[in-house]
Structure 1
Amino acid sequence: MGERNYLIEGVSGTGKTSVCRELQRRGFHAINGDRELAYQGDPETGEPMDGRTHEHHIWRVDDVRALVASHDEPVTFFCGGSRNFPKFIDLFDGVFVLDVDLDTLNRRLDGRPEDEWGARPAERELVVRLHRTKEDTPRVGTVIDATTPLASVVDEILRQVMLSPST
Structure 2
Amino acid sequence: MGVRNFLIEGVSCTGKTTVCNELQRRGYQAIHGDRELAYQGDPETGDPTATASHENHIWDVEKVKALVDNKDEPVTFFCGGSRNFSTFIDLFDGVFVLEVDRETLNRRLDERPENEFGGKKSERELIAHLHQTKEDIPENGIIIDATEPIGHVFDAVIREVEGV
**TM-score, length-normalised on structure 2?**
0.98
Residue 160 of structure 1 corresponds to which residue in structure 2? 160
CA apart distance, 1:51: 3.3
Residue 78 of structure 2 corresponds to which residue in structure 1? 78
1:15 lines up with 2:4 in the alignment: no
Alignment partners' CA distance in 1, 2:28 and 2:91: 19
Residue 99 of structure 2 corresponds to which residue in structure 1? 99
Q: Secondary structure at the match of 1:82?
A: coil
Q: Secondary structure at the match of 1:9?
A: strand
**Could you tell me the percent identity over the aligned residues?**
67
Alignment partners' CA distance in 2, 1:95 and 1:64: 14
CA apart distance, 1:14: 0.1
Q: Secondary structure at the match of 1:19?
A: helix
CA apart distance, 1:140: 1.1
**TM-score, length-normalised on structure 1?**
0.96
Q: How many residues align?
A: 163
Unaligned runs of 5+ in 2: none
Residue 135 of structure 1 corresponds to which residue in structure 2? 135
Unaligned runs of 5+ in 1: none
Alignment partners' CA distance in 1, 2:51 and 2:155: 37
Equivalence map 1:54-73=2 (5 Å) = 54-73=54-73
Large movers: runs of 4+ above 4 Å: none
